[in-house]
Amino acid sequence: MLLLRKNIPSVVLGALSLSLLACATLIGAPATSRLPPPTEPPLPTSSPELVFTPTPEALRLDQTVSLTTEVISETNETPLYTLSAETPVLQGPDDPRLTHFNEAVAALVQEEVTAFKEMAPEALDTPEGSYFELGFTSISPPGDLISLQFLINGYSAGAAHPYHYTRTFNYQLSTGQVLTLDQLFLLGADYLQALADYCKPELQQRLGDAFFPDGAEPKPENYQNWNLSSEGLIITFDEYQVAPYAAGPQTVTIPYAALEGVVDPQWPLAALESSV
């Protein structure tokens, strides 16, 4: 063995020693499994959508509210006038749809009050002075739809007689939306012509020669005062619109069946009919 070691170059012996040391290390090392490097969980392809499930209270808000009245009255000396106005107020849960209703009707009432006050200084200075009265009536039965008719009576000092006119307000509680007349009808339907076709013969028969047909022509301004009732669609024509002052305002109730073909059978009249 000593002779063999002398004949082997030192470089070879060094390499052999390193190989033996490496083998010993591998033999003595504990066995380990070679796992793939950890990865992050996959990202979602889209953000999850928020799902809103309406509560029964949200679906039938009409069952948790009540319609009340706030009255304002005022007397002024210069110019001389008295003023009285009723404002409808919905009371119930803290809900933005109630807030929207209350703000919208309050704005309507305030608009009429402001218009009267701006006109009052132009009235004659008479002992009786001027007056303004605004009240309202709920036309629709209890339910999702609220249909209000505002009756305005007034007198401007020095005028020949008092004046009267109407404003209407229609609201859907479940959607918190002020309704417009076109929303009652199918998209693209000539609903104004259908209303005129029903109202004009009715007014002609009622008023005879005193009928002013221009006031019932199929124009938006002629049918701006409307209400929803269980009996049908109520159209109000103010004094002077379709008849002389002495005849007073005129109303025509159009049965919903008479509007078949143009009226939307699903919305929002379905909500009114279900509450009757």
Per-residue pLDDT, 142: 84
Judge whether 95 lies within some domain. yes
Judge whether 18 lies within some domain. no
Q: Which domain holds residue 107?
A: 56-179
* CATH code assigned at 105: 3.30.565.40
Instruction: Name 147's bridge partners.
Output: 170
The per-residue pLDDT for range 171-221, each reduced to its tens digit, is 999 899 999 999 999 999 999 999 999 999 999 999 999 999 999 999 999
190 and 218 inside one domain: yes
Q: Please say which residue of 133, 164, 179 terminates a domain.
A: 179
pTM (2 d.p.): 0.77
Per-residue pLDDT, 125: 86
171 and 188 inside one domain: no
- The tally of CA atoms less than 13 A away on the side-chain side of residue 271 is 20
Tokens at residue 68, please? 């009340």
Per-residue pLDDT, 271: 56
Q: Please say which residue of 179, 195, 226 terminates a domain.
A: 179
Judge whether 98 lies within some domain. yes
167 and 200 inside one domain: no
> β-strands 81-91, 130-138: how paired?
parallel
Judge whether 9 lies within some domain. no
3-state secondary structure 73-91: EEEECCCCEEEEEEEEEEE
Tally of domains within the chain: 2
Judge whether 257 lies within some domain. yes
* CATH code assigned at 200: 3.90.640.20
The per-residue pLDDT for range 230-275, each reduced to its tens digit, is 899 999 999 999 999 999 999 999 999 899 899 988 766 665 554 4
